[in-house]
Amino acid sequence: MMAQVGTFSLWLALALAAYGALAALIGAHTRRAELWESARQTAIAGFAVVTLAAGVLFYALLARDFSVHHVALNSSRGLSTFYTITSFWSAHEGALLLWEWILAFFILLVAVRGRRSELHPYVLAVLQGLSLFFLFILVTFSNPLAPVPSPPANGRGMNPLLQDPGMAFHPPMLYLGYVGFSVPFAYAIAALVTGRLHEEWITTIRRWTLFAWYALTMGITLGAWWSYHTLGWGGYWAWDPVENASFMPWLAGTAFLHSIMVQERRRMLKVWNLVLIILAFSLSLFGTFLVRSGVLSSVHSFALSPWLGSFYLGFIAVVLFGSLGLVAARGERLRGDQELDGVISREAGFLLNNLVLVVLTFAVFIGTIFPIISEAIRGVKVSVGAPFFNKVAFPLGLLLLFLMGVGPLLPWRRASGAQLRRNFQTPLAFGGAAGLALVLAGVHQGYVVATAALGVFVVLTVLLEFARGARVKGELLGVSALEGLTALIIRSRKRYGGLLIHVGVAVVFVAITGGAFMVEREAAVRRGESFRIGRYELRYEGLRSRGDEEVMTFAAVFSVFNQGEKVAEMRPDKRFHFNQNEPTGKPAIRSTLREDIYLTLAGFEPDGSQVTVKAHVNPLIIWLWIGAFVMTIGTLLAVMPDLAAAPRRVSARERAGAAARGGGR
């Protein structure tokens, strides 16, 4: 009965989305306020009924109602409550409902809190049109609440690889990013339809875009964390097709975030910005296509029917080419109001940054779909592996790293020699010294030396910019440099938050180079025997077992020694799930600021007398997660409103400081 209520809610949401889109369009065209208000109320009702459907699925999961399709295939009685909840998005149908639920919430926010303007009804119409597509798939082909004709006594259970905290948060964060780009996309389409192509739509969607970008950043990071901590292969990024599918909209979204600053300040790059946000959202849809179509093999994909994938692909084509057609139709009105004044300027730096990001996006796209291209031409799927992507990404990444340090500190219009020396002389010197120090220490990998040198350069440019700003602000207010720094950040959050994000990205770049020094070894050891890897000696102590009604786990116990001193005990394991055909494993990881020790249990004798393990020493891994944390702090600063324009009461201390400086002059 409850499942029927949920299914009816989805059908009702479909009808509401269709009505809401039409009411918004007709209300905007005829200027009938009652239709526009009706469209707003429809958004509220739509979110309510989609929430009801999601609530029904949560209830069915927690109640172990195996008469419901999604519950029977993705849950079981022995599954913990935490993973029972996360099994909501562990398969195609539930993940699609999560996508629609997030979209309905964003439509609600736009309807209730969105800035009222001529664009607003068209924005709602576009968003409701997108919702209509996903609801149609839910009610016709992918209903998670569909009944099971013969309910099993127990469900098939959740994929063991997904029973990890990383996968509890990775898909929702990815979807927040994917769906988040739909709002800036809708504003762009509304601007094209209405002809209001100046800066209004750009300023309205700034925080939406930054939120979507950050959510996608964290989704990618959590996916890398899950891959590293769960799959047992010793790495975190494999250029997998679904990994690439999340990386491509991130690249396009990054380019858009930088490009809109140029349009706001100089009224340039109008066409470029529209194309970038269309590209970012279209690539977000492309990610759902890759996950669900089954055209490319991936550990992340749901591998459903090619027919459903073709349906997605057709929708992506309509969105992409229809949007670009609108851009072409408005071509005459999209000319920039100003021209580029100087090659060495902030706008030129941002433009070059965007070109590099777009080239990298195109290269990743071609590499990802190459198996499809090769099959169409030669009849055989030929994949390109990590060497291709690394060969393309490393040089472009180094150029991006350089531009991250240079671009934000260049002045608008044109830079003078004095400005360049003041901003970059010291960071370049220290960056060069860091690179030379690595070479003298015996590091001869060119990209490692270049990344380290540029990482130091970026971090120093940001730190010196903070220091200069704090000193000037402190002198202006008559306070200490630390108080000046606080006031500076509070009143210019967007700029300094963005600079802090650059520091986080630089830290991630440097952490990636640690892979050049990774040490790997496979060893078969008997109880009491040891083997060495890098600085460490690992001694096998024995095999431990434990089990419950769902899984039997065998863990190999290793004592880890460094220069004769025991520093850790590690327990990689192998898990046999009774309702799954293939065993899974959980690596054991010991992390320090310098490196990780990473152990995977490859095999063992039943009596535990001997085990085979794969061991890695992975330098700098923890700095990936530290870099992501720094980016989080920067994003939180950047999304807060600047207070520069707000009136402020001048304190007695500031008046006294100003008077003292005046007397000194």
Tell me the pLDDT tens digit for each residue of 190-203: 999 988 877 778 88
The amino acid at residue 598 is Y
Confirm whether 570 is domain-assigned: yes
Question: Do residues 28 and 48 share a domain?
Answer: yes
pLDDT of residue 298: 52
Question: Do residues 204 and 319 share a domain?
Answer: yes
Q: pLDDT tens for residues 598-633? A: 999 999 998 999 999 999 999 999 999 999 999 999
Calpha distance 649→647 (Å, rounded) = 7
Backbone angles phi, psi at 589, to 5 degrees: -130, 130
User: What is the domain extent for residue 363?
Assistant: 164-415
Question: Do residues 151 and 168 share a domain?
Answer: no
Mean pLDDT of 658-662: 43
Question: Do residues 369 and 407 share a domain?
Answer: yes
Question: Do residues 84 and 2 share a domain?
Answer: yes
Which of 415, 444, 465 terminates a domain? The answer is: 415
pLDDT of residue 305: 58
3-state secondary structure of 528: coil
Give the pLDDT band (50/70/90) at residue 536.
Answer: very high
Confirm whether 352 is domain-assigned: yes
Which of 158, 185, 215 terminates a domain? The answer is: 158
Calpha distance 111→40 (Å, rounded) = 5
Question: Do residues 215 and 91 share a domain?
Answer: no
CATH number for the domain that contains residue 91 = 1.20.120
CATH number for the domain that contains residue 618 = 2.60.98
Question: Do residues 179 and 45 share a domain?
Answer: no
Report the 10 Å Cβ neighbour count for 378.
9
Mean pLDDT of 638-654: 53
Residue 215 has pLDDT above 50, yes or no: yes
Calpha distance 613→587 (Å, rounded) = 10
Q: pLDDT tens for residues 201-210? A: 888 888 899 9
The end-to-end CA distance of the chain, in Å, is 83
pLDDT of residue 419: 74
Confirm whether 294 is domain-assigned: yes
Count structural domains, the chain. 3
Residue with tokens 């992501």: 628
Calpha distance 199→186 (Å, rounded) = 15
Cβ neighbors of 582 (< 8 A, separation 6 or more) are none
Q: What is the pTM of this model?
A: 0.89
Give the pLDDT band (50/70/90) at residue 495.
Answer: confident
Question: Do residues 154 and 171 share a domain?
Answer: no
Confirm whether 635 is domain-assigned: no
pLDDT of residue 377: 82
Confirm whether 474 is domain-assigned: no
Residue 663 has pLDDT above 60, yes or no: no
| Under 8 Å between Cβ of 543 and 604 | yes
The mean of the pLDDT values for the chain is 87
Calpha distance 414→445 (Å, rounded) = 36
Backbone angles phi, psi at 541, to 5 degrees: -100, -25
Q: pLDDT tens for residues 143-180? A: 999 999 888 888 888 888 888 888 889 999 999 999 99
**In percent, how much of the chain has pLDDT > 70?**
92
Q: pLDDT tens for residues 279-322? A: 999 999 988 777 765 555 554 445 455 567 778 888 999 999 99
Residue 646 has pLDDT above 50, yes or no: no
471 or 507, higher pLDDT: 507
Confirm whether 463 is domain-assigned: no
Q: pLDDT tens for residues 412-456? A: 777 777 777 877 888 899 999 999 999 998 888 888 999 999 999
Q: Which of 242, 329, 254, 226 is nearest to 291 (CA)?
A: 242
Confirm whether 436 is domain-assigned: no
Question: Do residues 172 and 153 share a domain?
Answer: no
Residue 376 has pLDDT above 80, yes or no: no
Residue 53 has pLDDT above 80, yes or no: yes
Q: pLDDT tens for residues 230-267? A: 988 999 998 988 889 899 999 999 999 988 888 777 77
Residue 85: both structure tokens together: 């909840």
Confirm whether 17 is domain-assigned: yes
Question: Do residues 247 and 291 share a domain?
Answer: yes
In 181-269, alpha helices (H) = 182-194, 200-204, 206-230, 241-266
92 or 129, higher pLDDT: 129
Question: Do residues 152 and 170 share a domain?
Answer: no
pLDDT of residue 577: 83
DSSP β-bridge partners for residue 556: 543
Residue 183 has pLDDT above 90, yes or no: yes
Question: Do residues 354 and 278 share a domain?
Answer: yes
Calpha distance 43→114 (Å, rounded) = 12
Which of 122, 141, 158 terminates a domain? The answer is: 158
Mean pLDDT of 55-74: 94
